[in-house]
Protein backbone atom coordinates (compact mmCIF):
# COMPACT_ATOMS: atom_id res chain seq x y z
CA UNK A 1 0.00 0.00 0.00
CA UNK A 2 1.42 3.37 -0.99
CA UNK A 3 1.29 6.25 1.47
CA UNK A 4 -0.23 9.50 0.25
CA UNK A 5 1.28 11.76 2.89
CA UNK A 6 1.79 15.35 1.85
CA UNK A 7 5.30 16.65 1.44
CA UNK A 8 6.85 19.69 3.04
CA UNK A 9 9.69 21.98 2.10
CA UNK A 10 12.29 22.60 4.77
CA UNK A 11 14.91 25.33 4.41
CA UNK A 12 18.28 24.03 5.58
CA UNK A 13 20.96 26.55 6.53
CA UNK A 14 24.57 25.38 6.85
CA UNK A 15 27.30 27.03 8.88
CA UNK A 16 31.12 26.73 8.99
CA UNK A 17 32.39 23.23 8.07
CA UNK A 18 28.87 22.08 7.19
CA UNK A 19 28.59 24.91 4.66
CA UNK A 20 31.91 23.92 3.10
CA UNK A 21 30.98 20.23 2.94
CA UNK A 22 27.52 20.90 1.48
CA UNK A 23 28.88 23.38 -1.04
CA UNK A 24 26.10 25.83 -0.24
CA UNK A 25 24.94 28.02 2.60
CA UNK A 26 21.25 27.24 2.20
CA UNK A 27 18.95 24.92 0.31
CA UNK A 28 15.35 23.75 0.21
CA UNK A 29 14.72 20.06 0.91
CA UNK A 30 11.48 18.18 0.15
CA UNK A 31 10.46 15.73 2.88
CA UNK A 32 7.43 13.66 3.80
CA UNK A 33 4.83 15.51 5.85
CA UNK A 34 5.53 13.35 8.92
CA UNK A 35 9.34 13.60 8.64
CA UNK A 36 11.58 13.79 11.68
CA UNK A 37 14.83 15.66 12.22
CA UNK A 38 16.62 12.31 11.67
CA UNK A 39 14.83 11.94 8.32
CA UNK A 40 16.01 15.40 7.30
CA UNK A 41 19.60 14.58 8.30
CA UNK A 42 19.45 11.30 6.35
CA UNK A 43 18.19 13.17 3.28
CA UNK A 44 21.07 15.63 3.54
CA UNK A 45 23.58 12.80 3.92
CA UNK A 46 22.16 11.08 0.83
CA UNK A 47 22.10 14.27 -1.24
CA UNK A 48 25.63 15.42 -0.42
CA UNK A 49 27.64 12.26 0.25
CA UNK A 50 30.18 11.10 2.78
CA UNK A 51 32.02 14.38 3.40
CA UNK A 52 28.88 16.11 4.67
CA UNK A 53 27.85 12.87 6.37
CA UNK A 54 30.99 12.97 8.54
CA UNK A 55 30.29 16.59 9.46
CA UNK A 56 26.62 15.86 10.25
CA UNK A 57 27.71 13.19 12.75
CA UNK A 58 29.26 15.96 14.88
CA UNK A 59 26.63 18.67 14.35
CA UNK A 60 23.94 20.09 16.53
CA UNK A 61 20.71 21.40 15.02
CA UNK A 62 18.25 24.21 15.54
CA UNK A 63 14.69 23.79 14.35
CA UNK A 64 13.16 27.23 13.87
CA UNK A 65 15.87 28.58 16.23
CA UNK A 66 15.16 26.02 18.99
CA UNK A 67 17.86 23.48 19.91
CA UNK A 68 17.04 19.91 18.91
CA UNK A 69 17.70 17.42 21.68
CA UNK A 70 15.92 14.45 20.11
CA UNK A 71 16.45 13.71 16.43
CA UNK A 72 13.32 11.56 16.41
CA UNK A 73 11.26 14.73 16.94
CA UNK A 74 8.88 15.47 14.07
CA UNK A 75 9.35 18.64 12.07
CA UNK A 76 5.72 19.63 12.70
CA UNK A 77 5.23 23.14 11.34
CA UNK A 78 8.94 24.00 11.33
CA UNK A 79 10.31 25.79 8.31
CA UNK A 80 14.06 26.05 8.98
CA UNK A 81 16.75 23.62 10.12
CA UNK A 82 20.13 25.13 11.02
CA UNK A 83 23.14 22.77 10.82
CA UNK A 84 25.79 23.80 13.36
CA UNK A 85 29.12 21.99 13.50
CA UNK A 86 31.22 22.32 16.65
CA UNK A 87 32.88 25.72 16.79
CA UNK A 88 36.43 26.28 18.07
CA UNK A 89 37.40 29.15 20.28
CA UNK A 90 35.53 30.81 23.02
pLDDT in tens, 25-75: 999 999 999 999 999 999 999 999 999 999 999 999 999 999 999 999 999
Domain for residue 38, yes or no? Answer: yes
Q: What is the pTM of this model?
A: 0.89
Domain with residue 62: its CATH number is 3.10.20.30
Domain for residue 13, yes or no? Answer: yes
pLDDT over 60 (residue 76): yes
User: Cβ distance 22 to 52 under 8 Å?
Assistant: yes
Domain for residue 2, yes or no? Answer: no
Q: Which domain holds residue 75?
A: 7-84
Domains held by the chain: number = 1
Q: How far apart are CA 72 and CA 52, in angstroms?
A: 20
Q: Flag the least confident range among 10-14, 36-40, 53-57, 83-87.
A: 83-87
Amino acid sequence: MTSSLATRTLTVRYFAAAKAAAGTGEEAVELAGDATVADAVDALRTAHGPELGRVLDRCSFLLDEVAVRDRSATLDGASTLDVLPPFAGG
